[in-house]
Amino acid sequence: MDPIVDGLVTAFRLLVSVDPEVYGIVLLSLVVSGVAVLVGAMAGIPFGALIALRSFIGKRVLLSLLNTLTGLPPVVVGLLVYLMLSSSGPLGPLQLLYKPQAMVIAQLIMVFPIVASVTASAVSSVDRKLRLRALSLGAGGSQMTFTMLREARTGVLTAIVLSFGAAISEVGAVMIVGGNIRWFTRTLTTAIVLETELGQFGMALALGIILLALSFLINVALTRLQWSGLRR
C-alpha cells in the first residue's frame, strides 16, 4: 500500500483503538514539553521584562547572546546535558539520565532563551510614554514590570507559542538524554525516528500526523487567547 495512505489509515486506527502505548507517548510528549515551557515561561518572562525595562552595562551584549541562544541546536543541548548528568558528570549523583526529568531539563535550556528574548523585545516595544504614565500613577518596581508585561501580552503569548512549538517538535536532545526507552522516555518525535529506522513508515507517519494535529490544536488555542488579548 502507498505509505501515505497507509499512514493515514494507521493513524486513524491508532486513535480510535485507544492504543495505550501511543497514548502514553502522546502524554509524555505533552508533559515533558509542557513542564519545560511552563518553567521556562516562569523564569524567562520576568527575566526578559527586566532586561527590557532596566538599563545596565552590557545590556546589548546580553540581548545578542540570548538571541543567539534561541537558535541552539537541540543535539548540542542534548550532548551538554548528557555530559552533565552522566555518571561521571558533575550532576551524575542525581541519577537523572534516561529519565523524563532529564528531557525536561534539556528542553528547558532550549526554551528559556526563546521566551526571554521574545518577551524582552515585546516589552521594549511598549510605548515609553506608557511607562512614564504608570510611574506617574504610582506604580512601584514590580507593579511596573507587571503592567508592562500586560501591555505586551500578545508578544508574551507569541513567546510561549514559539517555545512550545520548538519543544514539542525537538528530537535531538530528548533522544540523547532520554534514550527513547519504550513505555518510559519515548516521545512522539523519538518514536517517529525509531519507526522510520525500522521501516514502519505507516506507523511513523501516523505518529507524525498526531504530532502535527497536536501542535495545530495547541496553536489554535493560544492564538485565540492572543487575539482576545488584543481586543481587550
Residues binding another protein (CB under 8 A) = 127, 129-130, 132-141, 143, 147, 150-151, 231-232
Which CB, 101 or 147, lies closer to another protein? Answer: 147
State in angstroms the smallest separation of the CB of 158 from another protein: 16
Q: How many helices (H) and strands (E) does the chain have?
A: 11, 0
Single-letter residue type at 98: Y
Which CB, 60 or 231, lies closer to another protein? Answer: 231
State in angstroms the smallest separation of the CB of 148 from another protein: 10
Q: Please give the biggest Cα pair distance in the chain.
A: 70
Which CB, 5 or 130, lies closer to another protein? Answer: 130
Instruction: Look at residue 126 and give its three-state secondary structure.
Output: coil
d(C-alpha 12, C-alpha 113), whole Å:
37
State in angstroms the smallest separation of the CB of 130 from another protein: 5
d(C-alpha 178, C-alpha 29), whole Å:
12
Which CB, 59 or 150, lies closer to another protein? Answer: 150
Which CB, 60 or 129, lies closer to another protein? Answer: 129
State in angstroms the smallest separation of the CB of 127 from another protein: 6
State in angstroms the smallest separation of the CB of 132 from another protein: 6
Which DSSP symbol is given to 72?
Answer: -
d(C-alpha 224, C-alpha 230), whole Å:
10
Nearest CA to 110 out of 76, 72, 148, 141 is that of 72
